[in-house]
Structure 1
């Protein structure tokens, strides 16, 4: 082994630092530190505690030093769309407001009055979601224009965390595409769209691609944590990193299954026609200039919230077991209905939807859980059909990656519902994808194809049969 790399993967509910190295031709992972994340209320908004997140990154680095570990490089990935603004002195002008905050209510409709929907999709290829960065920025332009006037740097969450590590400001490509402000073909900020919205084009930085080495840790940070290493951009959009870890080199549908379900295919060209727009597919940036042609689906967020509404007295595995024992219950909800984005009570919201659509109302925890799982499968089936229509081909398998690979019931339901074999694994796809991007930059791996071969050989992949 020549190098070890450290992946910092931060999701909506937790974060982790994982070190990866290649030993005897296999990728070996070692978890260094795990910590909690969640929304906090600051003033009138739901926010991420960005100071807490960076402090936890430093805790993980100190643990490495204490354990005699000296990774060569580090890279950070997080969720998409959220950002901070810095002033001319590189001081924070904004909190890290979260995409689940209701400030964007009505903003998408207002932007459509400025930029026709068809034009916006043709140029960016990005799915219309009310929390996209473009609508968050439009809110600021409308309600806090003085703040925007002071902004000289726009940094997405992983961009800002990389800045705190190095003092170097960057906008990384895969996360930048989620703003709905990057031109799909040029892969650069779309000046026309930005100026149509009367935003300051100069606050957006030149876009950097995954595998870019951006610098070393700041000297003060080296002294604080006891380590020095190179900072390399992974695909900083966590789904971008996860899809790198899809263990298939051939054509396959993937589901990055976690808080969100990101379901789609890898493409070398954006698909921005009206059919793709009407089905609300997105063309998010991937590594090596690829595109993740996919659909964002609500995902396991719903069962996470159901668990919370039952005061966390049941584990996720217990919810699965109870759902399996509730075979006769078959009510379905539309998981992508905006009412499920951030309800006060997820269980009551599910019951309300069933009541309003004249379906049997789930009562027991098992019935609620089965309703969530069956509803996810229903939209996965629909998405498969739409993908095959838009792409003009039939896909034979589905790769499930991420935390949802551990839900055997859901994976078998996907296989049975879509009549396609489901290959589930690896679990830690995002950290793996983050690490292998760094390895390619360091010359430890040749390219994505070699990385995927090693990933397939290194981690258990479970087969769920949907067709013979």
Structure 2
């Protein structure tokens, strides 16, 4: 690679976000943080929601601070999403995965399709926070919202869409949903049908690195690995076979890269998850509580002054 290239990356986690600008010039790569901001969910309409408008305003501030760049991309936490109506606008604030709406969804759902069978088809650890179960809660509590929805966008894709107007679904973030086949990278129509969920709202997943649109100034909008864990794994310096990784944040993820998913009953029983990485590999991992308790304690101490 020769010449100069500048890219802007937004890494938005469950507690805060940051914008990093990287410049490649004269054979050297440099990067710096241009903006950092808090992610503060709030109660809206009886649900614990992400303040998407506030986050998008912070993203726009980051764009201004960054100056000129050739491309921009986003990564975020997994599973959460926004629903767009036929007019292309957000129908409601994206609901936080820690909202109580899914607390009693798991039991009835697993009577329709057992945990081992669902795991064999989707490869995700069975958790009530997963997109599948969030949609089931939505179907039960707000069926009219699901009927009005034209498009489901996961959080990184929602940020990108809000800037360029082009909707896309990146594969790594889609693989956190409990609705994607980790072997093919396509939606499991049989799973959606079994639970009575509309496949029409789901876009066909695209590979990490796909150019999905452009900003008004011409900078490309790229669907990088939308799940922050997969971005972290892609950046690992080690290429030793069978290396393990530990990605620490609100959640911590301990795992390794594999060539194919592990979809056995034993893997399901151990609560292990298969997620699609940026490089075509499968990230086989265990979700660990991470720094959430520390982050929430810090938030409360700040509130008290």
Provide TM-score, normalisation by structure 1.
Answer: 0.62
Counterpart position of 1:247 = 237
Across the aligned residues of Structure 1 and Structure 2, the Cα RMSD in angstroms comes to: 1.7
Counterpart of 1:266 (choices 257, 263, 278) is 257
Deviations 1:108-133 (A, max 9, x none): 11210111111110011101112111
- Alpha carbons 2:8, 2:66 under 8 Å: kept: no
Aligned to 1:85: 83
Equivalent in the alignment of 2:213? 215
Pairing 1:13-412 to 2, within 5 Å after superposition? 13-23=15-25, 25-65=27-67, 70-217=68-215, 222=216, 227-250=217-240, 251-310=242-301
- Worse-superposed segment, 76-85 or 90-99: 90-99
Q: Where is the helix percentage greater, Structure 1 or Structure 2?
A: 1
Q: Secondary structure at the match of 1:131?
A: coil
Which protein is richer in strand relative to its size? 2
Q: Cα distance 1:308–1:74, how it changes in 2: closer, same or farther (>3 A)?
A: closer
Deviations 1:340-399 (A, max 9, x none): xxxxxxxxxxxxxxxxxxxxxxxxxxxxxxxxxxxxxxxxxxxxxxxxxxxxxxxxxxxx
In structure 2, what is the Cα distance between the partners aligned to 1:25 and 1:93?
46
Give ranges in structure 1 of 5+ residues lacking alignment: 315-468
Q: In structure 2, do the counterparts of structure 1 residues 145 and 308 end up closer, same or farther at CA, with 3 Å as the change threshold?
A: closer
What is the SS of the residue equivalent to 1:270? coil
Note if contact 2:5-2:25 (Cα within 8 Å) is conserved in structure 1.
Answer: no
Secondary structure at the aligned position of 1:97 is classed as coil
Aligned residues: 302
Call closer, same or farther: CA 1:308–1:37 in 2, change over 3 Å.
Answer: closer
SS at match of 2:4: coil
Q: Secondary structure at the match of 1:235?
A: coil
Residue aligning to 1:397 = none
What are the superposed Cα offsets for residues 261-284 of structure 1, whole Å, 9 maximum, x if unpaired?
100001111011112111010001
Q: CA deviation at 1:203?
A: 0.7
Alpha-carbon distance change, 42 to 232 in structure 1, aligned in 2, over 3 angstroms: same
Shift of 1:306: 3.5
What is the deviation of 1:106?
Answer: 1.2
Name the SS of the counterpart of 1:80 in structure 2.
Answer: coil
Answer with 1 or 2: which has the greater Rg.
1
> C-alpha displacement at 1:313, in angstroms?
9.6
Structure 2 equivalent of residue 410 of structure 1: none
Which secondary structure does the structure 1 equivalent of 2:106 belong to? helix
1:172-201 C-alpha deviation (Å, 9 max, x unpaired): 101101110001211101111111111111
Q: Which runs of 4+ in 1 moved over 4 A?
A: 23-26, 308-314
1:147/1:5 CA distance change after superposition, 3 Å: same
Range moving further from structure 2, 299-308 or 178-187: 299-308
Distance 1:309 1:89 in 2: 39
Give the SS at the match of 1:171. coil
| Offset, 1:309 | 5.0
Structure 2: stretches of 5+ with no match in the other structure: none
Hey, what's the Cα distance between the residues in 1 that align with 2:303 and 2:42? 19
Is the 8 Å Cα contact of residues 106 and 128 (structure 2) preserved in structure 1?
Answer: yes
Aligned equivalents of 1:26, 1:125: Cα separation in 2:
39
Structure 1 138/71 Cα, relative in aligned 2: closer, same or farther at 3 Å?
Answer: same
CA distance in 2, matches of 1:9, 1:71: 16
SS of the aligned residue for 2:245 comes to strand
**Cα distance in 2 between the residues matched to 1:310 and 1:165:** 35
TM-score, normalization: structure 2?
0.95
